[in-house]
Chains A and B, each alone.
Chain A
């Protein structure tokens, strides 16, 4: 995928997930309202629930519980949906995921009563309220203590430190693991051999390939700096197999392979 496709897929996928989670949240909220309207379905708990009426044990702990249900249904839904896609053999196709989860997200949003007009109205209501503390007029000393600027600033510190730690580790891990090594490999192609050479950092331009056939004939192919693949023609009658290939650094054989 090119960059545009990647970005488009990321945006679309994010939108699908956000819509699905929002719809699921709305469905759960409706379900909870309906449940509370009916009262506790289990008489056994009725007394205990009644004794807890007004207690944060029920009223304040419920939101996290709803979040737990939301997370759980999101994870299991993604898993089961992905299973359905994989069962029909389309697990390698992003479009199949977009279609399935997009349809599910729209269905959930509809079931939860998330109408576009309602959402737009909520956003229109929410944005000015969210932007209000950020206006300079509200940036008093008291506003600084309680406003979002301080909170964002304080939150950004650990995030930045973590970002530095991750970046540092990624860089060091990637550069260490993918450090180039001097290697020689060969595979037979239609026209002969494809020889693959990778260079360590210290091998700059002084490498030479020496090809030896079974008749003892040998010839050398200089390797241009930065070039890691060289085709060696062995498909004609003048070059019988097997062919030995040496990788020389100066006159010293560094690596050696044999192709039948």
Chain B
């Protein structure tokens, strides 16, 4: 039977753990709010950018001539950008992304196609390395607060791989933020830029004298990389918000379990204490009886 001292020690230990998980829960909640605000802040920029591209595409003639819009057939090499967090203790957040990444890799391999893996986040890099996956490029230290410049660099690299013909498609796998409790795994193609995202066949050229400096086709071509940058930045922000949400939920569960455990332990402690007191009284009474 556990002694009083053992139980007290366990209570102290569980209590400390609970304090930590509570603190982590609160930190995650604060970071989550910030991450959500940043997703909101990106929206007008993304909307204006895409609106402008659709507009320009209408004026730019045959859009299939742009390198970033060209679909390749067959797609023999596919690059997969895997987005995880830099830290764990976030429930199934990192594991979900990685499981999907391995699935994708297997499916492509069975199909006779090659996969190139690029990874964001320490956790993903660690697991992929452990599984002896060759990582083409990796970035870490940005899952907490991704900057647009980070997205730009990643997008630059992805575009480079595509334009040099090293890969025929780029996909990104990340957690999309639905609510603090829920994330959906997203696996979306970003290069070549999906045509339907930046063009609108129902739209006719706007009447009226619009000036373009330089010509619409040049502007369109220069804006196309921005689509990839925005897609990467949005994925980074979504992933960052999801990570905080997942961590918050995981830590709340941990705090709740700790609380439950504390209840059980306190009960056990009181029982043991009473049993000890009863025992003592019995001994005193027995002792008195023996003397009398």
> Are A and B subunits of one complex?
no
Show the binding face of A for B, using Cβ within 8 Å. none
